[in-house]
Chain A
Amino acid sequence: MAVVPYERIPFAGTVPSPQKENEGMITGNWRTRRPIVDSEKCVKCQTCWINCPDACVNLNDDKPINFNLKYCKGCGICAEVCPAGAITLVPELDFEE
């Protein structure tokens, strides 16, 4: 076991302030169901982007909405609030990747 000097141990389990992602708090393996967007039904109202508690919704002007699956923990709030019914939750093991 590597010995870490006490000066380098973060205070009370804190992690460095993230710019965009926080490598110390990856939560993707909490997910049992994955959100999938039907791009034909999606009206780009951005309701899912407002409601996502982990800011996992990626918005693009030219591409359809997608999710940051490294941090998405599959809570399903996006599917619940979507007014167009474009988001469905699919069992995680249906995907090989």
Chain B
Amino acid sequence: MSIQNLFDEPGLKQITVWGRGVYENKEARDVVVALTEAASKEGKYIQAWENYVDLPDRIFVPVRAYGKISTEEIESRYVYENEAPDIVVLTEETLVKGINILSGIKPGAVLVINSKRSPEYLIKFIKENTENLSKIVTVDANSLSKSVITLSGAEGATDASGIGKGISAALVAAVVKGTEIVKFDNLLELIANKSVAKKAYDQTIVVDADSIQKKVFA
């Protein structure tokens, strides 16, 4: 028995969000908090937390926030890292370079990137684990909103700054358009910046990963 198959949970979806320390730490956390809270309204079992090993107080360090959404009770609730994510979100585009962001993804996984560049350009930088990727979703969240820079709420402290005020509003809208993991209306009730979320939902680009990989690497 390995770590990968300790828990057989077909109804479980794992969300991993990558951000940059200080600048997008709150936004990365807001993405999982907003998605899991919306799923909770739909009667799902949920969990959202931050990676404890990463260093959110150091500028530009890659940091991770995790979420779990399940139709049944989450048995693996004490596993403190997402080993096999279904959704990977990048709050900043350069995270595609030099980091194994797609490590362990399940078949049919979706990658969401905050970027104004094309998916065809961005896929060139991802060197590993692209076989299981089904869709690439891009949204230019920086043009719609600004990142809320605060350490309020980091590492389990009380968050006094509100959910979905900055670029996370655009990113969750892109996640919902790409994966339909929760209903968009349920999400809108939760997040502060509703107009940004609606605009982002319209502007999000969803492409099939297989077709662009064939085109780029042909």
The answer on A and B forming one complex is yes
Q: CA–CA, A17 to B117, complex, Å?
A: 41
Task: Select B117's contact among A73, A74, A93, beta carbons within 8 Å.
Answer: A93
* In the assembled complex, B199 has its CB within 8 A of some CB on chain A: no
Q: Are B124 and A32 in contact (CB under 8 A)?
A: no
Q: How many A-B residue pairs have CB under 8 A?
A: 32
Q: Are A29 and B99 in contact (CB under 8 A)?
A: yes
Q: Are A32 and B125 in contact (CB under 8 A)?
A: no
* In the assembled complex, B103 has its CB within 8 A of some CB on chain A: no
Give the nearest-CB partner of A92 in chain B. Answer: B94
Interface residues of B toward A: which range?
10 to 19
Q: Are A32 and B98 in contact (CB under 8 A)?
A: no
Give the nearest-CB partner of A96 in chain B. Answer: B124
- Which A residues lie within 8 Å of B122 (CB)? 93
Q: CA–CA, A6 to B20, complex, Å?
A: 33
- Which A residues lie within 8 Å of B3 (CB)? 1
Chain A interface residues toward B at CB < 8 A: 1, 28-32, 73-75, 91-93, 96
Chain B interface residues toward A at CB < 8 A: 3, 20, 59-62, 92-94, 96-99, 115, 117, 121-122, 124-125
